[in-house]
A and B are shown apart, each in its own frame.
Chain A
């Protein structure tokens, strides 16, 4: 464990991060709230508790690749909360001249490890990075975030093959399994079937968790560090739009910004949930 936050503190942090993520998307007038909210808990656990990530330039820092690059608003909010750039900049998301591009651009802002946005490419990058880290006997661990819809891209399965073939036990991918994609339910659009069995059959250590249970998130990420001889995939069962009633489990909130009124309601609900 790299840091020592309590589960309650991590949950509070995740709520604040959700709120600022939604504020930035609202200010932008476009963006991807649904997947940002579904991945917020486990990525908060990763960035603030499990990953070795003190500065964005430390050569020994853990590398975190956001293969599902469209949830850049969550990435930027996490990086701002890490102190890698000013939080005030979050409202420049998607604006002309901003460092906060609609989809991640390498080093823009500091902490964005590389450019992603065209789905299916990040896991291969993570494989190469983990390969190099192991070759160098480096302590660097490599993490990747994939979406479930993204797994429809064939390149993902090439990378799953490669990660297992090279026995990259310094590599862990998190699958944000929120069950929805733009055109509807993943199961209806192009069913992934028994995802855990498939990934396991590809030679990965698979951990299935409730991706909104902070303790389970921390435990799974920590377990990934202990696995030997194979990479780990954490299938985080999540709810798209988690924490905001009108967004939850709605494909329509994949890539739509809330209005000011909707934002106000969302913030009230997130604060209320916090108070419970």
Chain B
């Protein structure tokens, strides 16, 4: 997405994370005959159309029937296939939640669930199509692995990684083009966060697109003499306790940033870790208990408090509380 504000990283190329998903699906399609891709009439939007074109015999369009899609994927997995279900996050997680819970998670089936169009940045389609609860809902399910990649490369790596593991997984993807902030050399392992910037004054733990906003905040804060550590926590479950606790101990204050409801979401997941073993002052940047609305992605990210300026303000608040 275009950045309307001062942007120290503006030279970066951008691409939507959903393309990283289909990049990986194409690689998997060539290498692993077990991989099937399912969609619910949104193959163009989710980008699974690319897989459909190359592997039509392993692509199943389930029609506008998300619950049935989850069941069909479950059946495929019981026969040793590795199915990826693909649709918008709202319809995937919310409409088919009972199917994901009972049929997939409870049975620990090897079904790979993908929720596209996560976050407020979905834009003009409005609240019905903006998945703001997907990460929180999915992380509550036993056995479920939950990943929220920050850019197209990380989305590709995450997709490959979930294919390589056994068990149910959820990956969130975004609609809009977002800056590419990792490359092939950036490490990726499920459950292992990445330290993007070092710093000792405060930790900004971010997930998904908000990692980029956290990097912008890092630059701005540096000008004020505040050295912020920036963590990319792509795996929300299992969360990287070790990295978070180390950061909390070393910086003494934590700000979380997510394009998602703060209540029950990523910030809550981080707080659950820190409050038990290393309670430090925290602030939560994200969406606070409200539905989205129509607008451009830029307008909405600003209006809903998902900008680096919001992170900077949260850092200043948390530092006032830091001992």
Contact = CB atoms under 8 A, between A and B. Distances in A.
Interface of A: 63, 105-106, 113-118, 120-133, 135-136, 138, 140, 142, 154-155, 158-159, 161-162, 165
B70 interface: yes
- Chain B CB count within 10 A is highest, among A106, A128, A131, A132, for A128
Interface residues of B, number: 32
Contacts of A127: 68, 71-72, 75
Given A113-B78, A116-B102, A124 B67 contact: yes
A269 B63 CA distance: 50
Contacts, number: 107
Interface stretch (B105-113, B114-122, B206-214, B302-310): B105-113
A104 B128 CA distance: 34
Instruction: Report whether over half of chain B's contact residues are helix, strand or loop; otherwise say mixed.
Output: helix
A129 B78 contact: yes
Contacts of B58: 135
The 10 closest A-B pairs by CB, nearest first: A124-B71, A128-B75, A132-B79, A128-B72, A129-B75, A158-B68, A158-B65, A115-B107, A106-B107, A125-B75
A123 B70 CA distance: 11
B99 A115 contact: no
B67 A158 contact: yes
B102 A117 contact: yes
B184 interface: no
Interface of B: 36, 57-58, 60, 62-63, 65, 67-81, 83, 98-99, 101-103, 106-109
A165 B62 CA distance: 10
Given A127-B71, A127-B75, A155-B71, A161 B63 contact: yes
Contacts of A161: 63, 65, 68
Given A114-B109, A118-B102, A128 B74 contact: yes
A222 to B, nearest CB: 24
Given A123-B71, A128-B71, A131-B60, A136 B107 contact: no
A128 B76 contact: yes
Given A105-B106, A105-B107, A116-B102, A132 B75 contact: yes
6 contacts: A114-B74, A121-B67, A125-B71, A130-B75, A131-B72, A133-B79
A129 B79 contact: yes
A119 to B, nearest CB: 10
Among the interface residues B57, B68, B80, B109, which one has the most CB atoms of the partner chain A within 10 A? B68
B143 to A, nearest CB: 11
A16 B158 CA distance: 52
